[in-house]
Every structure is written in C-alpha cells, then in structure tokens.
C-alpha cells in the first residue's frame, strides 16, 4: 500500500482482488481500487469508515484536491474510502482497448452483465471486512451511487451503519421507458429556463445545429452532429450548467475565407463535453441501471424520444431542444471510444435484466437512511424518488430547491452536514 499526503490529509492506495462473478468464486477475478483518506491529526485513530459511491455509472471516484467539497467535513469524524467501482478509474478497466481481450461482442456483453449495482455491492461487502474488521460502515451515495446504496439496503443491510443518499433514489419498479417518459418533460423545462435566461442562445443554437447538419465536421475522429450538439443539454442538470452552456455557445463561429464556420475552439469544447473516452461504461451500461423484471431496455431513450417530436434533431423552426442524460444508438457511430463497441451495446440493449431491489426488505428496513431529493432534478425524477423514499422504512428526506443534481459537490460541507443531522435525528426534515 502506498501512502502520501495532501495538506491536512493522509491518503492510502488499496487494491482488492474480487471474483468477476460471485456465483463462480473460484473463477476469474478482477481488481478493485479504493483510496483511503483520513485527517492527518487522526491518522492513528480507530475511526468509523465512510464509503463513497460515485455517480455514473462508469465514473471512478472523484479525485479531490485536499479537503474540497464535502470531504473536509467527512474526515472530521470518518476514515473515508473513495471507491473506483468495477471497470472504472484504477480498477480493472473495461473499454474499447481492453474489452476485445474477452472475445467478440457476445463475450463482451456477457462480461459487462457483471457490472451493475448488484455486483458493485458484492464487491463492497467483500472489501468491508478487510478494512473495518467486520464492522458496518456508513455509505454515501451520489446519483448512481445512491442507486447502489438502495441495492445495498436490499441485499446486505447487515453491512450498513447508516446510508446517506444525494440525488439518487431510484424507482423500485419503473421500466426504463417510464424513466424517460418522466425525463423528457423535465429536460424541456430546463431548456426553457436556459433560453429565458439567455434568449440570444436561441438563434445561436439554431445556427450551430444547421451548420452541423450540413457539414458534420470531424474533430479528431469524433464526428460532430446535430444530435451530439443537443446532448450538450446534460450540462443543464448542474448548478452552473446553464452558464457553462451559454459560454460554450457564445464563441461558436468565426469568419474564414469561405464565410462563417464553426470555430476550432467550439469544436474542441463540444468534443470534450460529449466524449466518452474517459467513461465508456456510462454509455454501455446507462440504460441497464434501469433494467428490471426480465424486460430488455431496448434503446429506451431513443424509442421514447419519438413520443416527444420537439426533441427531434430537425424539429422545424422552433428552438433547438437540448437533451440530457440519455444514450442513443448514434452515440456508438460518432464517438471513436464507442464505435468498436456498437455490437456489444446492441446485445446489452436486448438483455433481460433481473430486478435489483427488494421492496419487502426495504419496507422492513432498520438501517438509518437520509436522502437529499433535489426539486425538479434533471437526472433523477423527483416523483419517483419520493415514492421510493416512502417505501423504505425510516428513511428521512430533505427535499430542496437550493441545489441542482451536483449539490453534494457544489454545496461544500452543507449537504453532508444536513444528511448526518437527519440520519442521527438531530434536526427535523
């Protein structure tokens, strides 16, 4: 184990070997990486553990610099484990470069079937006794990390001291189609709010989409398309996202020898904002997190989008409707990090996924749970979250419009402070 320091912190690298498939404990193994963080002044103390599960799927745990965001609050009383969930970060990678080692698309899809929250929770339960000596730990789940935490409550509550969830209470029974039917109207509200704030962006976005439809430029192997441009709407789910989108749009064009053209600055910014090179599992496994009840997702976001024609890439003369957190078949045609995985993604879209949650066990829950539910969260439906909150015995909610989906990061220590107070009964809702 390597240990090193940030100001006020001691960090230690941990690597754990776990079975790929728990049903085959003697079979193939993979490596899971976790970064332990503890306050320097408490490094030798026997502190309780807090496990952080990042949002996604497909993202490694956030790389904090010192005590930024919520981490400074956490290390006042916890020893923190920032876990790179399987396939992400410094854990055994799963991407266009490594997946061909599995074989063809069928073998790759079978391998990735072990990368949902049920497998992530099994990893946590194998890791926990190695770190805590068998004691339960506190879990903090952000977004998809909250989905994992609800799976944890369903499958292994004995491993949990308490659970804190931010923007991540999933529906217990909704199909992916239900998720996206609820999502598109929310996205439309966010887009309308953006154009109300920056009305000049209506014409800018329309001009950019028209240029992309005609030229479809190539930016380092990444084809820029109107649909890809619309996907920049994912920015609107964050607290500063509308401003980020506006700043991206405002310098889109330059005048060259042949007239107006998209600037290199804009093209590179769009490529970077819509790239999956660093998190291909997000695209491959995103709809799978909603797959339940032995029914394939079948490119749900694409199918349901057809029910909302205003989101079409060539939807008349109206404002360009940006989209949000959705994955479509065309992603695997335009992105160089995804193009080799197109057939694998198609097989995953046809996969029958078993249920992830146990409503009966959740109804009898005895683990203290607190959840921040962000009002009109663009990524996770508020109504779905509140129904789930009512289905988990003893869960205390904090419904707030003060933050968007990134409240845990943007709110500094305040969100974690509030959830800890809730779960300990130190404050009202």
Catalytic residue list: 143, 352, 405
How far apart (Å, rounded) are the C-alpha atoms in residues 138 and 140?
7
DSSP character at residue 87 = B
Q: Please say whether the beta carbons of 94 and 87 come within 8 A.
A: yes
Which residues are CB-neighbours of 182 under 8 A, at least 6 positions away?
Answer: 381, 383, 384
- Helix, strand, coil abundance in the chain, percent, nearest 5: 45, 15, 40
- What is the distance between the alpha carbons of residues 97 and 298, in angstroms, rounded to a whole number? 25
Distance CA 372, CA 375 (A): 9
Cis peptide before 211 (omega within 30 of 0): no
Residues 94/36, Cβ–Cβ less than 8 Å = no
Q: Are 177 and 394 in contact (CB under 8 A)?
A: no
The residue to which tokens 């006020």 are assigned: 8
Residue 320 CA to residue 339 CA, distance in Å, equals 26
Strand blocks (E) in 65-177: 79-84, 137-142, 160-166
Instruction: Identify which of 340, 342, 339 has the alpha carbon closest to the alpha carbon of residue 100.
Output: 340
What CA–CA distance (Å, rounded) separates 217 from 346? Answer: 26
């Amino acid at each position: 184990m390597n240990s090193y320091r940030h100001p006020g912190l001691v960090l230690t690298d941990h690597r754990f070997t776990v079975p790929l498939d728990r049903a085959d404990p003697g079979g193939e193994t993979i490596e899971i990486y976790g970064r332990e963080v503890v306050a320097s002044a408490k490094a030798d103390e026997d502190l309780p553990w807090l496990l952080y599960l990042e949002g996604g799927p497909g993202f490694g745990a956030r790389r904090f610099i010192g005590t930024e965001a919520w981490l400074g609050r956490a290390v006042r009383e916890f020893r923190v484990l920032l876990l790179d969930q399987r396939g992400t970060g410094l854990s055994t990678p799963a991407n266009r470069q490594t997946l061909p080692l599995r074989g063809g698309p069928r073998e790759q899809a079978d391998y990735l079937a072990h990368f949902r929250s049920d497998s992530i929770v099994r990893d946590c339960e194998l890791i926990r006794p190695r770190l805590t000596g068998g004691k339960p730990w506190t879990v903090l789940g952000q977004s998809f990390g909250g989905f994992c935490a609800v799976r944890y409550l369903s499958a292994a509550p004995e491993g949990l001291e308490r659970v804190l969830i931010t923007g991540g209470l999933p529906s217990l029974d909704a199909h992916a189609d239900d998720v996206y039917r609820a999502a598109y109207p929310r996205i439309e509200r966010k887009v309308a709010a953006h154009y109300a704030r920056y009305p000049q962006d209506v014409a800018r976005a329309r001009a950019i989409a028209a240029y992309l439809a005609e030229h479809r430029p190539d930016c380092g192997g990444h084809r820029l398309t109107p649909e890809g441009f619309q996907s920049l709407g994912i920015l609107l789910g964050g607290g500063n996202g509308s401003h980020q989108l506006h700043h991206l749009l405002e310098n889109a064009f330059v005048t060259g020898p042949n007239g107006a053209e998209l600037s290199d600055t804009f093209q590179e910014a769009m490529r970077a904002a819509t790239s999956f090179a660093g998190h291909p599992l997000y695209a491959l496994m995103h709809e799978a997190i909603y797959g339940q009840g032995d029914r394939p997702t079948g490119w749900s976001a694409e199918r349901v989008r057809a029910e909302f024609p205003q989101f079409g890439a060539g939807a008349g003369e109206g404002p360009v409707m940006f989209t949000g957190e959705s994955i479509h078949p065309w992603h695997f045609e335009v992105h160089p990090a995804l193009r080799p995985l197109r057939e694998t993604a198609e097989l995953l879209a046809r996969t029958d996924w078993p249920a992830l949650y146990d409503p009966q066990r959740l109804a009898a829950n005895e683990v203290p749970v607190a959840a921040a539910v962000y009002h009109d969260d663009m990524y996770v439906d508020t109504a779905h979250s509140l129904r789930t909150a009512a289905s988990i015995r003893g869960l205390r909610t904090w419904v707030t419009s003060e933050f968007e989906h990134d409240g845990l990061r943007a709110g500094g220590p305040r969100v974690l402070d509030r959830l800890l107070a809730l779960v300990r009964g130190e404050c009202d809702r």
